[in-house]
Chains A and B, each alone.
Chain A
Amino acid sequence: MSDTVTMPAGAPPARHTSTSSDPRGPRPKPFFTPKKIVIYSILLFASLYFLFPLYVMITTSFKTMPEIRWGNIFAPPIEPTGEAWHKAWFSACTGLTCNGLNPGFWNSVQITIPSTIVSIFIAAVNGYALVNWKFKGSELFFAVLVFGSFIPYQVMLYPLVMLTREMGIFGSLWAVILVHSIFGMPILTLLFRNYFAALPVELFKASRVDGAGFWRIFFEIMLPMSLPIFVVAMILQVTGIWNDFLFGVVFAGTQNYPMTVQLNNIVNSAQGSPEYNVNMAATILTGLVPLFIYFVSGRLFVRGIAAGAVKG
């Protein structure tokens, strides 16, 4: 950013900006101006819309079925019980088996951890190579990669099914991990490329002069300096992979369904009368991991979103 402010056409000339000679100092403002009241009311009203589902989820999950049939979703539970949570975790039916969500939880863990590590490592190395070790065609590959990330997954779904089948991993966790690593690559590579490009190039040159090679510079100079971007990438990947449904349902195979798929099966299976309290407990359980990350990481989550959004 340069110091000169570029004015759009028709903007006032610069001499008007000297407000320091203004005779009046800032007037002390009362807190309850009409403007403030309007702003806070709108924000509070919006907050109700955003918070209402969370409130309903939590209260419903602690109610008993008779209480739910009584029919007031606003009412807090009269005699709160954790039974629904127990059932959602251990014994709710997800299709043919009735083991609750906990196998799905472990499947999701087994998918998320390696996918996150692999995709971040590959993307970090790519970003580093793209900044410091450009070769003929590297920029072109990168451009195609970024544009490719806009292609709807459905377009590449069937060929990938065939590919994983050929590799003998279709219907296993490995297939899901591979697919997540592939589709995590564009945004993460972009993220790391931009980050490494902002580091002072002298660092790189000095270590080159000292005789360090590709990997040594990466592990000893670049990695130790890039903790913030690693955290951001981790937040993006863990929430993204945990929340995935499509790849899980296509590639994992019935035994390995991740939590989101099992959750959908619990709620939308047609058998018997639906137990809304169990459904809501299961829903919260599935959302807990990303919510935990969101609340713990706070500002970093926002930064991760903003960083992931500056594609291109």
Chain B
Amino acid sequence: MADLAVQQARKGRAAGGVSRFLHNTFVRNLSAKIAAAPMIATVLVVFIGCTIWTVWYSFTNSRLLPTGDFVGFQQYERLFATARWNVSVWNLVIYGAFSLVFTMVFGFLLAVLMDQKIRFENVFRTIMLYPFALSFIVTGLVWQWIMNPTLGLQGTMRNLGWTGFSFDWLNNPRMVLFALLIAGLWQGVGFVMVLMLAGLRGIDGEIWKAARVDGIPTWRTYLSIVLPMMRGVFVTAVVLVGSGIVRLYDLVVALTDGGPGIASEVPAKYVYNYMFGAGNIAQGLAASTMMLLTVVIIIIPWAYLEFGGRGRRS
């Protein structure tokens, strides 16, 4: 900003230049600037200001109130020495990996099936997408009821005579993440399917004709021509699903509340509990800074591909 001012001032003729600069900066397009003020304020105060605040105070020993001394990486050392945090991170990695792969694969396969000029396409699409309109709390509670070990699916099957049937994932520390996965996929696959379907519809019909004339089998065409052409859609879907996974919170609260024990804890819940429950703000801030770091690591390669690539082409 200061540099600009100096440049502008040099370019202008003494005092007249300065006043023109002030005029350009503040008065020109004044209505537009006033209209954009909420956006500018949000960017400066919330997205930049709050983020810097959080990172800064994660290096203090604030407990009930965000005051306190600068303690370097002490909060982070403590974070990674806490079993609950490590379990949370590990859970998120496992859940995230499965969730990402399954939503992409199922979303794409369903979109391919939906693209086969089938009848009742609208009906199928409605059925697959309606869970996406529901909140994670609703999703979590419905599946909590279905997976209820005594009265849900397991109890029903046993009552019907299949006494060996077992579906107690909510009480089983090793399977509870897959219970989350079933509910998460139920909510989100339809969304990815719709994105993919839009992507498939955007591909020129000539390409299909050409491939058919050349005798390339359909699956080959999908794999080596259509998939690469849909790169943009895939990247968008991965970024959206990915940043959703990092935020995973409501679903866990409603379905398992982190249990059994700490078997389904996730980072977002750790942050919440330390900030608003345990009264150890700096610890929560350190944990949320780690979440920020994760998202930055997801976003940067994407931004590079999207914007860096576009810049080179033009």
Contact = CB atoms under 8 A, between A and B. Distances in A.
Given A129-B35, A155-B51, A8 B42 contact: no
Interface stretch (A83-91, A92-100, A203-211, A282-290): A282-290
User: Ordered nearest first, which 3 A-B pairs have the shortest CB separation?
Assistant: A148-B47, A243-B135, A133-B32
30 contacts: A8-B225, A19-B212, A39-B113, A43-B114, A50-B131, A53-B186, A71-B151, A73-B145, A73-B156, A129-B32, A129-B36, A133-B32, A150-B239, A151-B47, A154-B272, A154-B291, A155-B54, A157-B271, A157-B288, A160-B50, A163-B45, A245-B253, A263-B141, A267-B144, A276-B148, A290-B133, A294-B133, A295-B126, A305-B129, A309-B240
A27 interface: no
A60 to B, nearest CB: 7
Interface string B13-52: 0000000000011001101110110111011011111110
Interface of B: 24-25, 28-29, 31-33, 35-36, 38-40, 42-43, 45-51, 53-54, 66, 110, 113-114, 116, 118, 124-138, 141-146, 148, 150-153, 155-156, 159-160, 186, 190-191, 194-195, 198, 204, 206-207, 209-214, 225, 228-229, 236-237, 239-240, 243, 246-247, 249-250, 253-254, 257, 268, 271-272, 275-276, 281, 284-285, 287-289, 291-292, 295, 298-299, 302-303, 306-307
A71 B150 contact: yes
A177 to B, nearest CB: 13
B53 A301 contact: no
Given A134-B29, A243-B134, A295-B130, 11 more contacts: A53-B186, A60-B145, A69-B151, A73-B155, A151-B51, A152-B288, A158-B66, A185-B42, A283-B141, A311-B240, A312-B303
A158 B186 CA distance: 31
A291 B134 contact: yes
Contacts of A72: 156, 159-160
A243 B278 CA distance: 26
A163 B51 CA distance: 13
Given A12-B211, A141-B39, A291 B133 contact: yes
B54 A159 contact: yes
A214 interface: yes
A145 B50 CA distance: 13
A222 interface: no
Nearest to A124: B35
A60 B38 CA distance: 47
Contacts, number: 290
A216 B266 CA distance: 50
A278 to B, nearest CB: 12
A153 B32 contact: no
Nearest to B137: A260
Contacts of B268: 152, 154
A247 B271 CA distance: 14
A250 B299 contact: no
A135 B141 contact: no
Interface string A279-310: 11001001100110111001001100110011
Interface residues on A, range: 35 or more
Q: Most chain-B CB neighbours within 10 Å: which of A7, A287, A291, A298?
A: A287
Contact of A73 (B38, B43, B152, B214): B152
A223 interface: no
B145 A276 contact: yes
A129 B32 CA distance: 6
Contacts of A280: 142, 145
Q: Most chain-A CB neighbours within 10 Å: which of B43, B113, B285, B291?
A: B43
Contacts of B246: 152
Contact of B146 (A53, A153, A302): A53
A68 B159 CA distance: 12
A148 to B, nearest CB: 3
B43 A144 contact: yes
A185 B39 contact: yes
